[in-house]
Amino acid sequence: MKPKKLKLKNFGPFINETVDFSRLTEAPLFLISGKTGAGKTTIFDGITFALFGETSGRLRSGKEMRSLFATPEEETSVTFSFEHQQMNYEIERKPEQVLAKRKGNGTKKQAAKVTLTIFDGKGKEIKQITKRTEADQLIRELMNLDAKQFSQIVLLPQGEFRNFLVSSSSEKETVLRHLFGTQLFQQFNERLKEKAKQQQQKLDHLEQELHLLQKRFVLVKEEEAAAGFEAVLSQWTNHQAILEKQITEEKEVLADYQEKQKQLENSYYRFETLKKSYEEKATLLNKQKKLAAQKDEIEEKKRWIGYYEFTQRLIEPIQHLKEIKAEKIELSQKSSEQTKKLAMTTQYYEEWQKNETDRIHRQTKIKEAAQQLQNKQMMVPIVEALRSKKQEAEQLKHSLDKEEMNAEKLHQKQAIYQERTRILQEILLDQEKLQEDRLAFGQLKHLDEKQQEIEQQKTKSIESLEQIREELKKAAEETTKNNQRLKQQIEQAEQLKSQWAKQQIARLQLFLRPGEPCLVCGSTEHPVQQSKHEQPNKEDILKVEQQLAEAESAVERTQQIIAKNEAYENNLQQQLSDLEQKIMETNIQLDGQEKHLQQALQQAFPAITEQKTTTALTVIEQSLDKRKSKIANARAELEEISQQVEKLEQQLAVYKQQQTAKNNQLQQLQGEIKSLEKQLQDTDSNCLEEEIRQLEKQLEEDSNQLAAEQKAGMQLLQDLHMLRTQLDLQQEQIEKIDEKIEKEQQRIAEKLESQSYFSTTEEVCAFAQQQAQYEENQRIITTYHEAQLVTADRLRQLENIQLTEIVPDTEEISQQLEEIREMIETKQEKIYSLQEQKINNQKIYDECLSIYHTSQTQLDELTQLQQLSQTFNGENPKKTSLERYVLQVYLQEVLQVANDHLQRLTKNRYQFELADTIGSYRGKTGLEINIYDDQAGMSRSAHTLSGGESFIAALSLALALADVIQTQAGGVAIDALFIDEGFGSLDEEALEMAMEALETIESEGRMIGIISHVRELKERVLQQIRIDTEGSGQSKIRYQLG
């Protein structure tokens, strides 16, 4: 990929600037120079944003790169042209931004847009892509890189690679993990640790459960708990066997009790049954006598039931006869009414026939009135047409008058718009002055933000100062406490030393012999030699020695703590001094910044009288916003007035055309009105409608009345026929009912003659009402017969029972049975208790065994997890984790590529080596880089390189990392390289070496851009892109081409 042109519009500090890389092809090494904050790195941000929609450091999004001084009418966009594999590409990308609406007031959010155009080698357009997903996909396929990899390959932050060269293995691991994506190993190791922790918690939980279960196991007899889980299980098995034996013995005793109970119950039930049977037979014999005495009463009730059932059979015909007689009476009444109605209807029909001549005469008059109505209705269309024409003529006159008034109003509005246009154009003259004031305000805002940033730094420094003072106070208090503790510990140690010495002396006295010199004082006489029982024993001596050792250890620990606290206090004092110096320098800087800001404020806006800078800037910003809003409103209003004036002119032209057409139409209508008036002659058009309405009403009334009379006559004739037919039918029904009455009366008489208890139908109906008495008698008879049957049947069963037999007493047997039942219940409870204890113990046994097996499995898993975690974490003799081992492979590959660059740049003097020594701890093992010096014939640390040497080494390392990442991304060729800073700390000799190295790389044909503001580079590098600031936050791009 070879850059050709980059166009930045309202992007960062650039309003509309273009970087033409094609002008730098003759000497590929060029310098991008400018002041700090001018926008040097923004050029690379523009390239990255155009390709991937992101900035190089990902610190700001695309929409945050929009220029602060861009007006709402101006878009932000980046256009980047490049050549790749003999094809040309141009990509234009616009971030999400808020812009002014094209129509009306206010703003709207515009979504991000992208346009990718592809050209062939001759510059002919092949394809254009406007969908963001398609364009991003094509860029990724072309580059085989994402935004992060592109930044790592093309932009080399030289200072970071110099720090990387001399950093520890842990620090290198962090950087390389980010570059080569080995976070998976770190994450997997963390998950291993977490899983091992969880496994340990599960194991602890299982051990706790085992301990609790062991306490719940109930032993048959108290014994000392066995040592070891297998011994405990063996002890539990023995106790379970003892329980089983006890249960078997108790069950045998229970079986004897139950057999004895069965014998007693058989005797008891046999005697009780005999006693109850004797009593029952005596009761049944008495009951049989009582039933025999009730026989006559029962027979009487049976006869009464026969009479009642006879009435029920006869009551239905009697009721039917009553219904037929009632039906005859009802028909006779209806026949009488129909006869009266027939006579009246006949009289009405005869009267209707007398008026037939009058109805014929009225019919003739109705026909004459209808003809007259038809003649008048033929005149209605002419009258309607005349009225319509007159109304239309009046409306045209009214419309012409109204249009003349509207045209006059439009002329007046046109004059108002012309005056308003003149006022708005005067407002727009302030636009250029507003732009100058906005640029000046942007510069002031930048200065104010810088001042606020310094004040925030000062505030943070003051807070840090107070915090350090507080920590110093706490450290001093801690030191005082530690000194007091040390004094007490020393006194205690001295006392223990004295006691220990006395014990040693007393012990040595035991070995003294008369005439032999003392080991302590050398005397051969020992007058104060102690007796043996006064000597300290060995346990006392060892106890004092142990206490003395602990006291001396405590003194040593306290002395170490005091030394650390003193070092910590000295460090705090140094930090306090540094912060006080920093705050003093910040105050001086703030004073200078405030004066500079006030001078710039008075120079740019002399009319502002506010003393406080923040308030003054707020007032200025509000004033600028009002002026900006006023100009925008004026521009929008002017555009709207222009549209309105154009509409007015169009309306006036339309009105003129309409007036001409309507005048012609009015003249035509007036001629048509005169023609219609001639056709009507003497007819009064105003009265015509009323006459027609009256004729229609009269004609309708007469026609309706005649039709009603005709209908009434026809209805009377129909009623006469219907009444005569109904009378005939009613007479036939009465005759049939008389026949039915005679038959039913004969049938009832025959049934009454068949018995002698009832003589009339009234007696039958009265007796039939006693249904409740009938049901009661039925119940009594049924109960009587059932009692007879049950008593006889039971007596047959008890015929073997002799009433003279003596029945034994069951009280004694009952008492024995109760005692044996209590003994059985007691024994059953004991057996149940033993069985329950055995079952619970067995559950505990099984559960403990299961938990024990589970814990052993989990213990094995925990051991494997811990071993795996230790392997991943580098807890081994080489102190190298798995991730660091993988990174060693990557770093070794990088160093091999870097050695090609380094040997070429140093003329084969230096080359990189990966140190194989094991450091004192893991943080210094595995990724340490040494430099082999061919002239010295030995390896040395990268820390020993001079400034120029370290620059060349870091440059080689940076180029190698870029090459390796580029190779891993698919081998895409990137023909441009940007080196960001890293030159400011080099002395003259080191800078000379760095330039020679860069010129060597330049000879390989790669375009190299150095981003720096170092003066010496400006003198050495002939081709330059200068970023010049204009004091208002804007920057301009200028070229120096040697």
Q: What is the DSSP string of 739-777?
A: HHHHHHHHHHHHHHHT-SS--SHHHHHHHTT-HHHHHHH
Handedness of CA 779, 781, 787, 790 (dihedral sign): negative
Residue 247 burial (C-beta neighbours within 10 Å; 0-12, 13-18, 19+): middle
Structure tokens that stand for 163 in this block: 């720090």
For residue 206, pLDDT beyond 60: yes
Q: What gap in Å lies between CA 952 and CA 917, rounded to an integer? A: 25
Q: What gap in Å lies between CA 653 and CA 76, rounded to an integer? A: 44
When mean pLDDT is compared across 24-33, 253-262, 875-884, 1014-1023, the lowest value belongs to: 875-884
912-964 per-position pLDDT tens digit? 888 776 655 454 567 788 888 888 888 888 788 776 777 788 778 877 877 77
Backbone phi and psi for residue 725, each to the nearest 5 degrees, phi listed first: -65, -45
For residue 316, pLDDT beyond 60: yes
pLDDT for 129: 92
Q: What gap in Å lies between CA 345 and CA 719, rounded to an integer? A: 7
Q: What angle do CA 51, 1032, 436 make, to 5 degrees?
A: 115
How does DSSP assign 903-970, residue by residue?
HHHTTTSEEEEE-----SSGGGSS--EEEEETTTTEEEEGGG--HHHHHHHHHHHHHHHHHHHHHHTT
Q: Which of 304, 318, 296 is nearest to 770 (CA)?
A: 304
What's the mean pLDDT in 1021-1036? 80
Domain boundaries, the chain: 1-144+973-1042, 165-216+874-971, 229-290+803-856, 298-372+690-767, 393-429+616-680, 464-588
Running DSSP on this structure, what letter comes out for residue 1029? Answer: E
- Element holding 846 (H helix, E strand): helix 811-873
Q: Which of 170, 147, 143 is nearest to 84 (CA)?
A: 143
pLDDT band of residue 515 (cuts 50, 70, 90) is: low
What's the mean pLDDT in 105-121? 88
| For helices 988-1002 and 947-968, angle between their N-to-C axes, nearest 10 degrees | 30
- Element holding 1008 (H helix, E strand): strand 1007-1011
Higher-pLDDT residue of 557 and 926 is 557
What's the mean pLDDT in 272-300? 78
pLDDT for 752: 78
531-555 per-position pLDDT tens digit? 444 556 667 777 877 887 888 888 8
3-state secondary structure of 145: coil
Cβ atoms of 911 and 937 within 8 Å: the answer is: no
- Element holding 892 (H helix, E strand): helix 882-905
Q: What gap in Å lies between CA 742 and CA 732, rounded to an integer? A: 16
Q: Which of 166, 324, 350, 398 is nearest to 929 (CA)?
A: 166
Cβ atoms of 719 and 397 within 8 Å: the answer is: no
Q: Which of 123, 122, 121, 100 is nearest to 110 (CA)?
A: 100
Domain range 1-144+973-1042, CATH architecture: 3-Layer(aba) Sandwich (3.40)
| For helices 380-428 and 685-753, angle between their N-to-C axes, nearest 10 degrees | 110
| Length of the chain measured in residues | 1042
For residue 72, pLDDT beyond 80: yes
Answer whether 1-144+973-1042 and 464-588 agree in fold.
Answer: no
What's the mean pLDDT in 616-626? 80
Q: Which of 208, 216, 205, 214 is nearest to 232 (CA)?
A: 214
For residue 528, pLDDT beyond 60: no
Q: What angle do CA 152, 153, 159 make, to 5 degrees?
A: 60
Handedness of CA 939, 941, 947, 952 (dihedral sign): positive
Q: Which of 111, 284, 209 is nearest to 854 (CA)?
A: 209
For residue 212, pLDDT beyond 50: yes
Cβ atoms of 706 and 363 within 8 Å: the answer is: yes
Q: What gap in Å lies between CA 599 and CA 328, rounded to an integer? A: 133
Q: What gap in Å lies between CA 426 and CA 429, rounded to an integer? A: 5
pLDDT for 223: 63
For residue 597, pLDDT beyond 70: yes
Strands (E), 613-685: none
What's the mean pLDDT in 805-830? 79
Protein fold of 165-216+874-971: Rossmann fold (3.40.50)
Q: In sequence order, what are the residues at sequence separation of 6 or more whose Cβ sits closer than 8 angstroms to the Cβ of residue 361? A: none
Q: Which of 436, 417, 768, 449 is nearest to 603 (CA)?
A: 436
Q: What gap in Å lies between CA 134 and CA 116, rounded to an integer? A: 9
Q: Which of 766, 731, 767, 762 is nearest to 321 (CA)?
A: 762
Backbone phi and psi for residue 744, each to the nearest 5 degrees, phi listed first: -65, -40
Higher-pLDDT residue of 326 and 988 is 326
For residue 854, pLDDT beyond 90: no
pLDDT for 221: 63
What's the mean pLDDT in 1008-1024? 78
3-state secondary structure of 110: strand
What's the mean pLDDT in 829-856? 82
For residue 118, pLDDT beyond 90: yes
For residue 384, pLDDT beyond 70: yes
Q: Which of 105, 110, 72, 68 is nearest to 93 (CA)?
A: 110
Contacts 24+ apart (CB under 8 A), 726-734: 726/338, 727/335, 727/338, 727/339, 727/342, 730/331, 730/334, 730/335, 730/338, 731/335, 733/331, 734/328, 734/331, 734/332, 734/335
pLDDT for 921: 47
649-691 per-position pLDDT tens digit? 888 888 788 778 878 877 887 787 777 777 666 666 667 677 7
pLDDT for 7: 95
Which CATH code is given to the segment(s) 464-588?
1.10.287
Higher-pLDDT residue of 563 and 678 is 563
pLDDT band of residue 830 (cuts 50, 70, 90) is: confident
When mean pLDDT is compared across 287-301, 856-870, 884-898, 1017-1031, the lowest value belongs to: 856-870
Higher-pLDDT residue of 901 and 866 is 901
3-state secondary structure of 902: helix
Contacts 24+ apart (CB under 8 A), 932-939: 933/909, 934/908, 934/909, 934/910, 935/909, 939/913
When mean pLDDT is compared across 79-93, 693-707, 876-890, 961-975, the lowest value belongs to: 961-975
Average pLDDT taken over every residue of the chain:
78
Cβ atoms of 758 and 767 within 8 Å: the answer is: yes
How does DSSP assign 177-204, residue by residue?
HHHHT-HHHHHHHHHHHHHHHHHHHHHH
Tokens 């509207």 sit on residue: 406
- Element holding 310 (H helix, E strand): helix 295-354
Cβ atoms of 229 and 852 within 8 Å: the answer is: yes
pTM exceeds cut of 0.75: no
Higher-pLDDT residue of 157 and 583 is 583
What's the mean pLDDT in 277-297? 79
pLDDT for 161: 64
Handedness of CA 1008, 1012, 1013, 1016 (dihedral sign): negative
pLDDT for 1005: 62
Cβ atoms of 765 and 321 within 8 Å: the answer is: no
Residue 435 burial (C-beta neighbours within 10 Å; 0-12, 13-18, 19+): middle
Sheet holding 77-84, edge to edge: 14-20, 2-11, 77-84, 87-94, 113-119, 125-129
For residue 804, pLDDT beyond 60: no
Structure tokens that stand for 1008 in this block: 């190299």
Q: What gap in Å lies between CA 938 and CA 909, rounded to an integer? A: 11
**Counts of helices then strands in the chain (DSSP H, E):** 21, 17
For residue 117, pLDDT beyond 90: yes
